[in-house]
Amino acid sequence: MIRDDSEPDFPIRFYISEYSYNFYVVFCLRPSCDPSKFVADVMKEIPPSGIRRFFDLVSGLEDVISLGVGEPDFITPWHIREMCIHSLEKGQTSYTSNYGLPELRDELTRTYYRRYGLDYNPSSEILITTGVSEALDIAVRTVVNPGDEVIIVQPSYVAYMPSVVLAGGKPVIVSTHRDDDFSLTAESLKPAITDKTKAIILNFPNNPTGAIMSKEGLEDIADLIVENDLFVISDEVYECLTYEGKHVPLSSLEGMKERTVMLNGFSKAYAMTGLRLGFAMGSPEIIHSMMMIHQYCMMCAPVTAQVGAIEALRHGKDEMERMVREYDRRRHFIVRGFNRIGLECCNPKGAFYAFPYIGNTGLSSSEFAERLLDEKKVVAIPGDAFGEAGEGFLRCAYAASTNDIRKALDRMEDFVDGLKQ
């Protein structure tokens, strides 16, 4: 054996093992590596969530009031939890069909026919997913080919752009504005459409602005979509949280059912966020293709949550409407409060977010939110987390108690007054 006393350019590890009182020294000569080189190039295009960044900043802080979480502050109604518990007691813990429990799909069919006159076949036009987030991901992957342009209306939920990028598509941004109450107009949409446009992602009622779309406005958008032969991924998870007028599903308009996949779930309306249950409704061709991705990456949605969702649809209307009435009361309270302290705020007509304008304070959205947290211990999400169109605004969830909202407004008033000095 040749002895080499030179310094090695990689670490040498010694492993000593004992067998029959003999000792063996084993030299491990394999070099280490940099694992980052194995990360796909596309991940370099994905920014961290601007929402989660603020949750990390809050960690360990005391006396914090949060208007940042897009989650109901209500507990899942007892009768829904009871059905989940009962299903576990019966040992109902097996896989379901990839499409989801037939009873749940039947109930969804009845619910949407009763609400909107929409008729979806429960066997071929409904897919139960692990939250709306999964439904969004597999809908985008079903529709988008590499290089396809997908229009994203901003300000919007943070997951839309990464979903398109990860599918190989090219996001094209269309901005909404407070002069239009953040509703989408056909005039602003039309210039973004090219011969490469494949689809558009819509979210009304909107997160973060609380905007809704009127039937007349949707008809104008539908005309453009049909004229240019586009597909629509319509995230309507805040459907039941509509305070003024009545929600209009895009798929209920003439000629739109076949070219729309509607995404929805149980997190917001029934306070079932942690149970992670959503669904998609669309044509058999789209739903089958989504199911093909779903069956390989997820198999099926949690059966316990599916049992709870059946109970929610059958007997959860009263509790849901009670929660909506309380959100509506808080909506008026927080909007009046923002306007009183000098932060102009449009009246959100859906979801549970206010979107006050902070552009006249001399701070950017991120600066305002970071200083507000640091100096007054109030969490709000900077508007630019939802796209460039959100710069100059702040997302504040009124899915918090009225007392917490009151205290947050008092602290924000002190903060704004301090900026004027």
Taking the alpha carbons at both ends of the chain, their separation in whole angstroms is: 79
Q: Are residues 140 and 193 in the same domain?
A: yes
Q: Are residues 292 and 334 in the same domain?
A: no
Q: Are residues 189 and 123 in the same domain?
A: yes
Give whole-number Cα distances, 315 to 57, 103, 107, 156, in Å: 40, 14, 11, 32
**43, part of any domain:** no
- pLDDT (0 to 100) of residue 2: 47
The DSSP H or E segment spanning 264 is strand 260-265
Beta sheet of 353-354, edge-to-edge order: 353-354, 394-397, 381-382
Dist. CA 36–CA 168, nearest whole Å: 21
Q: Are residues 151 and 197 in the same domain?
A: yes
Dist. CA 316–CA 314, nearest whole Å: 6
**255, part of any domain:** yes
CATH label of the domain that carries residue 183 = 3.40.640.10
- pLDDT (0 to 100) of residue 70: 85
Q: Are residues 326 and 230 in the same domain?
A: no
Of the residues 269, 299, 316, the one at which a domain ends? 316
CA 177 to chain centre: 21
| DSSP category for residue 7 | P
**80, part of any domain:** no
- pLDDT (0 to 100) of residue 14: 47
- Number of folded domains that form the chain: 2
CATH label of the domain that carries residue 369 = 3.90.1150.10
**373, part of any domain:** yes
Handedness of CA 414, 419, 420, 421 (dihedral sign): positive
**25, part of any domain:** no
Dist. CA 175–CA 10, nearest whole Å: 53
Q: Are residues 238 and 300 in the same domain?
A: yes
- pLDDT (0 to 100) of residue 47: 84
The low-confidence residues of the chain, meaning pLDDT below 50, are 1-2, 10, 12, 14-15, 19
- pLDDT (0 to 100) of residue 274: 95
Of the residues 316, 344, 359, the one at which a domain ends? 316
* pLDDT single digits (tens) 284-336: 999 999 999 999 999 999 999 999 999 999 999 999 999 999 999 999 999 99
Neighbouring-strand partners of residue 65 = 378
Q: Are residues 61 and 173 in the same domain?
A: no
Give whole-number Cα distances, 172 to 262, 324, 404, in Å: 21, 34, 38
Q: Are residues 323 and 306 in the same domain?
A: no
- pLDDT (0 to 100) of residue 55: 72
Q: Interior CA angle at 362 toward 358 and 363, to 5°?
A: 65
Q: Are residues 178 and 218 in the same domain?
A: yes
Range of the domain at 346: 48-75+318-420
